[in-house]
Structure 1
């Protein structure tokens, strides 16, 4: 009873503190005033500062803070001191820093600030704690760590995860488990209130490195990468800019799914795209992208052998040996740019090959290939104009003859677009002898028709960057999501877009379902950088699914070998995984009945039926609609994910998550021995409930698992 009264008193104190904070924020907002619309530059700059302050206050108004940590700072030079709670200062952590009354005293500390790192790094114990500040390391004692949930101006939940002097128990994860137990909507959300220690280390890692993150399904790696962008903008304010950051996601639907995270963190202007869309734009739409669904259908709509995967054209065109062939062709082009013969437009006029070579090598040494080529052509034109002027040549016929020879000479200086140079690898006498004939023929025909397959874009982008460079400023930071599906050649192209490597590269080898283009080991990508430029992180803890679902999914991959450890679930128990046999006649009705029962229970906000193929999903979707069940069908070109009930092919479900998942058919014909990663992806989309139907014999991937 006494504990309950103490909790209520503390809750009331926190609510009163919250109300004072909101009142202060409202007062500051009311004092900002209207926008300045005049032409005075100083006033315009002041107005931008006021708008930035207004933006931070509006973020804070929705949820002023989510955590509190009471920290007693030790005096400078002190090696130890008796912990004294009376000397501890309460620090409230929120998405945006707010000064009390607009002054110097902080009402809320920004989650990215050095002192706020204590909230994430401190996990308990009576020993002293420390954080790195701009002035050096700050040491002290933590007396209280409190999680707070604020909604609509009310304190909804309060959990003390650490109180100095009290026995520590399971309460440390209570708030996290509560948040993980919430239902999902159709957007990925920020995790600032539940960032874990291992995630925080990645977010706050050094900027000028290529960070590689191997994260199991549900480890929060995508969200961590987005929070890292927000942190870098805060930590390096004035040195890096949001408009010089870029995020590469696997498809447009996934971009829509993650689109809410950065605005929630108060970050805008960061480009978010796919590698295909970015490449086509870089190439100035000289080619269109061949239908990506054709490639996926080719590999996912029917079983494939290990040999077919190993010798797929996408793996050939993504490897470093193919890049070496591209580099060789670029060098050949460069070697032929400077004419080997003198230019003689008129008798007695001679521009030697040696002079042109000197211009090219010395005067334009550091410039891009096509810039050097165009500047050489311009220099030759200026040389002729200068000679004609110096010799006072006014005869029109003589001048016309000289200009005619000039145009003919300049025209012979080689000039390629990226597509033309790339096509030379596959067509005619210049085609590579080592190129498999079928790949060369198909590629040449496609490029000749004005389109390119996704597997060609790495080489095309690389050639474009070598020839013309990036039209914008170099990127300050690059995020690559689902990087296990990237080839080494793609990363080599992106490296050309930065002066210094600053990347966050994340993925999961266990979800590497695009084996026809992707990597089989992170070493394929990390070796592209110097050792001191890279850092590898592993996130093995899965926060998405229940223990039952994670253990079941790990069993599917149990027979696989590799460098990845199995997922470790958070101690969150739920419903057991269920599998049921379904005959052909009763299969579709059973799917509809399951969905109806889930909807009637009113427990799940988002549900998904995951099919093996696009054709299977179309059949399921039509049946559900005929049964009066509202559902959306996900297709390869779909730009958005709307939530609710979704029918989706398993190979398009990666990155998404749902409260409840029904695997439509886990029979042996649907998932063979080579499809373990594919089935693993489907099962790990589920947060709270997972059920599988199977037609015929159950897939051997489940082995002896009893479900």
Structure 2
């Protein structure tokens, strides 16, 4: 809707006035932060000068402690003030350039006064502190902007619903204090603003553009009711952005009771963590905890086993079809991901309550103190109604008692005298201090008596020798956990007997071979990725779950790639957390499509009551141009339901080269052209890591190119070669699909690779170019009429 010049002048005058007040607040805050910083430096520099130090008597020591405490509290208060002022200053500097993005005029029912509300990334009061110049986009009133066109509207507030009429919704693009674009609109977000935002080149990090939040995204952001929030969205529909803005909203809404450390984001890979790391700071909030599920597994079991990476598993699934154990392993991957395997292990854990746990001997200096058989008999003599972890703790107490008796006997053994003789001066003094501290009756002259000296030092030596054994007992290390997991696979018929009378499906046909393969790997301390979570689940159920009760919200991105087993484990790990899970079943690129069909969202949803679950579906794709979305939507069943945003662009192209040398030449030409047109992020996406490494070596002397590997932790602008699965969740200005043929190893032919191909193609924002070389035929997934063919028609 066009606006009068008078409207423009009035709005610019307001921007000028707001900007002037922001500058004044910046100057004031800069003075405050400078003064506070100087005070902090002075306090640190003169800290001990202002403290009375006297350790001669207890009264003087109390005065010293009080003096230290007072100085520390003053310093802590100054540091808090400085941090708060620095955060305000950073926010104000952002507001100075672009103070707000929207305006709404709202009249409550039966009221005459018009509320004129301007929305920005943070709230700002006027210089008299009497009213708001800008409202934070997370404030309840802001929902009117995101959810309603002009007309009747309702806003939910902490004190209830307020009905009225939305008289005006105006949108701005303000840069450097100047209105560049302004328009009134009857929809949530005008196409003009989205076109301006989406038409830009990609950056090294995801940007949070709160002015372009859509109605469905706003539902995601402001949901406070659901224990489980499932967000299913097409590629480029803004799932991740909405989830991060949800974090910012929650931190705003529950300020004082929720902090960033109580929110955890599980990302697909470390590079993705880097990619999204700027979103919350842009919104004036601290980043939540960010990790990957693999990092968690490494912390828990990486020291005991050589743990396989999920991308190594996927690489195997994509490239090892000719290996003899391939079908067996793939069957194992699928079964171990299923809810049926969860049920099998739960049955097995019930069985372990009455028999089957494997124990280790407790030994000291090659002498068995308590045998594994004795531990076994003691454990299974305890009331079986008591949970396994609690019974094991009773066993641990019993074993510690047995160890204390053995420790007393050790004091009289000859090796103790030898150990005492070998103590160096430093250890001697340390022993003396420890023994004296533990026994207040020892006089200063006690060590003048040789026999008494030997007795006290002997106590120290023996205690030190037994210390690691005591530690292992407290950690329940007398249970052989690897053997406990493997016992389920020792006899293939055993698992079948556990499932008798249950609702779980039959074991896979390859179960006997799966058992042998699993035993071989774990006996060699190799932990396949498909076994890592089930093994850890067994460990936790035996020893007692190490639950995290502090985390209040868990965000799971690319949730479609998690197994049913992983979801079951995470629910136990975070028993009191609300979960937001984001994903797209069409981008499921894992090797574990489960045999029971309960994958992705269905497996997770089955863990929570329906009344505590909310599902939001995002069908509109904003990332890519209309021609790219029209092409990619034909790659998958049901793709016609994806709605492209009306942003024009060039059609995807298919280049067929005669050989590899010509292919590389054409790729270099295309990249140079894209670079010249101002594209900042360009990706050559290969199917596998092995193919990526080969392509990188072929192109590195012709282009300033970077190879993205599993260990890559940062995302930067430029030209990259990247495996298909590491590109998930990231977007590029232009994507070149290195091999769009039907070649089994390098291209995309098998039906299970269809979603992988779709995922690769949907990484492109502005341009998508596919390549085929040599004798390879075009992938059967490509609808030919949707492409502009170049170089050679096939």
TM-score (norm 1): 0.82
* Number of the residue aligned with 2:772: 694
* Number of the residue aligned with 1:342: none
* Number of the residue aligned with 1:318: 337
* Number of the residue aligned with 1:234: 252
Matches of 1:149 and 1:667, distance apart in 2: 44
Residue correspondence of structure 1 range 205-604 to structure 2 within 5 A: 205-268=223-286, 270-283=288-301, 285-301=303-319, 312-335=331-354, 357=382, 369-370=388-389, 372-375=391-394, 377-378=396-397, 415-416=478-479, 418-427=481-490, 432=495, 436-466=511-541, 467-470=543-546, 472-517=548-593, 520=599, 522-557=601-636, 560=637, 566-584=641-659, 585-600=661-676, 602-604=677-679
Q: Secondary structure at the match of 1:656?
A: coil
| Cα shift at 1:224 | 1.2
Q: Secondary structure at the match of 1:92?
A: strand
* Contact 1:475/1:498 (8 A) holds in 2: yes
**Alignment deviations for residues 407-444 of structure 1 (CA, whole Å, 9 cap, x no partner):** 9xx99x99536544323323479974557233223322
**Alignment deviations for residues 540-586 of structure 1 (CA, whole Å, 9 cap, x no partner):** 111100110000001111xx26xx87321111111122222211142
* Number of the residue aligned with 1:142: 166
Cα pair distance change 1:336/1:415, threshold 3 Å = farther
2:700 maps to 1:620? no
* Contact 2:294/2:309 (8 A) holds in 1: no
Matches of 1:328 and 1:170, distance apart in 2: 52
**Alignment deviations for residues 336-356 of structure 1 (CA, whole Å, 9 cap, x no partner):** 5999xxxxx9xxxxxx99998
Q: Which runs of 5+ in 2 are unaligned?
A: 48-68, 359-369, 371-376, 406-411, 414-469, 497-506, 788-794
Matches of 2:158 and 2:630, distance apart in 1: 44
- Of residues 229-238 and 196-205 in structure 1, the stretch that sits farther from structure 2 once superposed is 229-238
| Cα shift at 1:6 | 4.7
Partner of residue 93 from structure 2, selected from 46, 61, 73: 61
* Contact 1:68/1:145 (8 A) holds in 2: yes
* Number of the residue aligned with 2:446: none
* Number of the residue aligned with 1:680: 758
Q: Secondary structure at the match of 1:246?
A: strand
Q: Secondary structure at the match of 1:108?
A: strand
Matches of 2:310 and 2:591, distance apart in 1: 15
Going by fraction, where is helix more abundant, 1 or 2? Answer: 2
Matches of 1:147 and 1:112, distance apart in 2: 17
* Number of the residue aligned with 1:14: 15
* Number of the residue aligned with 1:348: none
Matches of 1:236 and 1:383, distance apart in 2: 52
Q: Secondary structure at the match of 2:711?
A: coil
Matches of 2:223 and 2:625, distance apart in 1: 29
* Number of the residue aligned with 1:34: 36
Matches of 1:678 and 1:289, distance apart in 2: 24
* Contact 2:145/2:188 (8 A) holds in 1: no
* Contact 1:458/1:489 (8 A) holds in 2: yes
Q: Secondary structure at the match of 2:264?
A: strand
Cα pair distance change 1:501/1:455, threshold 3 Å = same
The two structures, once aligned, show a CA RMSD in angstroms of 3.9
**Alignment deviations for residues 522-547 of structure 1 (CA, whole Å, 9 cap, x no partner):** 32321121111211110111110011
| Cα shift at 1:473 | 3.5
Matches of 2:155 and 2:147, distance apart in 1: 9
| Cα shift at 1:521 | 5.8
If you compute each CA radius of gyration, which structure gives the higher value, 1 or 2?
2
Residue correspondence of structure 1 range 149-188 to structure 2 within 5 A: 149-151=173-175, 153-155=176-178, 157-162=180-185, 168=186, 172-188=190-206
Q: Which runs of 5+ in 1 are unaligned?
A: 163-167, 340-344, 346-351, 387-395, 398-406
2:668 maps to 1:643? no
**Alignment deviations for residues 116-142 of structure 1 (CA, whole Å, 9 cap, x no partner):** 2222223x2322x22111111223333
* Contact 2:189/2:214 (8 A) holds in 1: no
TM-score (norm 2): 0.74
Matches of 1:381 and 1:645, distance apart in 2: 61
| Cα shift at 1:197 | 1.0
